[in-house]
Structure 1
Amino acid sequence: VVTSLTNPTVKAVRALHLRKARDESGLFVAEGLKNVTEGVEQGIAPQILMFGKEAASHPLLKAAVRATEDAGGEVIEVTQDILAKVSRRDNPQAVVGVFKQRFVPLTAFQPASAPCWVALHRVRDPGNLGTIIRTADAAGCGAVILVGECCDPYSVEAVRATMGSVFAVPLAKASEAEFAAWRRDWPGSVVGTLLSAEVDHRQADYVRPSLILMGNEQQGLPPEMAALCDVNVKIPMRGRADSLNLSVATGIMIYAAT
């Protein structure tokens, strides 16, 4: 049982809370047996698996241990104190997995393979991003594409919000120019949301596969991104609120398109 916070593996996992460490290593942390099991069931084994004594006998953990060892990964039992330090939580999960990040190039996607796809321009909030990934998974979307400078989908906060869907939904990164060039060959509708739009999102003509393009939390879609859309729509506001949370709005658009 590892008890020291100065253990090299423990220090490496703790460092993955920092984006610099994630970018340099290409790794990320997934907390909890459910999240780790989601990865294992998708055929993605942890490179490092840490667990507390209370989880040692759980059959799902035993399966995760086998998958990790079969893939040449490292398995260590740790104390509750180490789990708290690694998770930066007072009441930590009993299992923590470290996995390799996965990004798919835009050219690898087959648009006809799914009825709806999601592109996010400069999304800033990791909780929103994680929730959108989870919603995209629930709706059977083909991928979530991050356009421009976005927050990290593999941050601890974003991964928590995905509830395991980070392993099921392909992720891609692209600059604005790369996305614009790729979008030219899109065979279905590209639909954006704008407060100034006149078309109700329920009345738009969604031609599958639909590509939903959403702007960031503060500014929405800038003109140059809105211009890439075949149609821009609005979600009606009947109360005093003049806008929706980005993840809620994206969920509404996903299900309108599917």
Structure 2
Amino acid sequence: MSAPARQVTSLTNPLVKAVRALHQRKARDETGQFVAEGLKFIIEALEFDRFPEVLLYGPEAAGHPLLERARKATLAAGGQVIEVTRDILAKVSRRDNPQAVIGVFRQVFARLEDLDPAAATGWVALHRVRDPGNLGTVIRTADAAGCGAVILVGECCDPYSVEAVRATMGSIFALPLVRVDEADFAAWRAGWPGSVVGTLLSATVSHAEAAYRRPTLILLGNEQQGLPPDMAALCDVNVKIPMRGRADSLNLSVAAGVMIYAVTN
């Protein structure tokens, strides 16, 4: 029989405050940690040998076999397992209807030089993406299509924000994330063995008609401005996704999904 978990019931407990603070980028940057909510997320993490540093759970989750698996894995990795009240879960998640399990994990970023272009047919780079929901959805889509990594170029929003992590639906653990400035990306891109493909409203070639050499690296601009000229110049080909209705553009995550499946099919 497993030993009882430590219990915390006070909303002013220092650990509760520290976990709640991870909603702020400053706290995430200072600690290198982030929050993932829900038992599904925790189990996804374990599949990739990512273990919570802190595991919080409410009474309604007690006894669940997957929670017991997560509890054992957390303790074996040196993490803390704490039973908390529903009020604490609501405060930590900033939701009235919180998940019953919350994990605090260590952020992980890969390096450009450690990526193996031959490991996947499709790769994604995002330039100065601003919306965490879009970013999380792109990460999820890239994972679903078997892409090699998501590369964040320039000043992007934080992939480990609570909003972005929620949108990944667990894919935050599944593929490498890279952060790089424009100059280092341009230097690394010069050695890319396949096609680098940008999306531009002004392009004349349809995404469905362009020839892509694998591995294919997709480069997308941000939600407001798209790809600036210096980034578009790094691409072997710039393409457009045809607009057949009244809308003149697609949401970034939708455009990314169209492009990801165009180059990986």
TM-score (ref. length: structure 1) = 0.99
Identity of paired residues, percent? 76
Mapped to 2, the partners of 1:247 and 1:5 lie a distance apart of 37
Q: Deviation of residue 5 (structure 1)?
A: 1.3
Question: Which of 1, 4, 15 is equivalent to 2:10?
Answer: 4
Q: Deviation of residue 42 (structure 1)?
A: 1.0
Query: Is 1:127 aligned to 2:128, yes or no?
Result: no
Mapped to 1, the partners of 2:214 and 2:122 lie a distance apart of 7
Question: Which of 60, 63, 74 is equivalent to 1:68?
Answer: 74
Name the counterpart of 1:59.
Answer: 65
Q: Deviation of residue 9 (structure 1)?
A: 1.2
Query: Is 1:228 aligned to 2:234, yes or no?
Result: yes
Mapped to 1, the partners of 2:65 and 2:235 lie a distance apart of 48
**How many pairs are equivalent?**
258
Mapped to 1, the partners of 2:187 and 2:230 lie a distance apart of 13
- Give the AA of the match of 2:189: R
Stretches of structure 2 that go unaligned for 5 or more consecutive residues are 1-6
Query: Is 1:155 aligned to 2:161, yes or no?
Result: yes
Name the counterpart of 1:85.
Answer: 91
Mapped to 2, the partners of 1:41 and 1:210 lie a distance apart of 27
Name the counterpart of 1:22.
Answer: 28
Query: Which residues in structure 2 correspond to 1:196-215 (within 5 Å)?
Result: 196-215=202-221
- Give the AA of the match of 1:177: A
SS at match of 1:16: helix
Mapped to 2, the partners of 1:18 and 1:252 lie a distance apart of 32
Mapped to 2, the partners of 1:235 and 1:104 lie a distance apart of 30
Q: Which runs of 4+ in 1 moved over 6 A?
A: none
SS at match of 2:23: coil
SS at match of 1:9: helix
Q: Deviation of residue 149 (structure 1)?
A: 0.2
Query: Is 1:170 aligned to 2:171, yes or no?
Result: no
Name the counterpart of 2:48.
Answer: 42
SS at match of 1:177: helix
Mapped to 1, the partners of 2:218 and 2:105 lie a distance apart of 29
CA deviations 1:200-226 (Å, max 9, x no partner) are: 000111110000000000000000000
CA RMSD of aligned residues (A): 0.5
CA deviations 1:80-120 (Å, max 9, x no partner) are: 00000000000000000000000001000000100000000
Mapped to 2, the partners of 1:120 and 1:162 lie a distance apart of 15
Stretches of structure 1 that go unaligned for 5 or more consecutive residues are none
SS at match of 1:195: coil
Mapped to 1, the partners of 2:67 and 2:123 lie a distance apart of 33
Mapped to 2, the partners of 1:41 and 1:176 lie a distance apart of 33
TM-score (ref. length: structure 2) = 0.97
CA deviations 1:177-212 (Å, max 9, x no partner) are: 010000000000000000000000001111100000
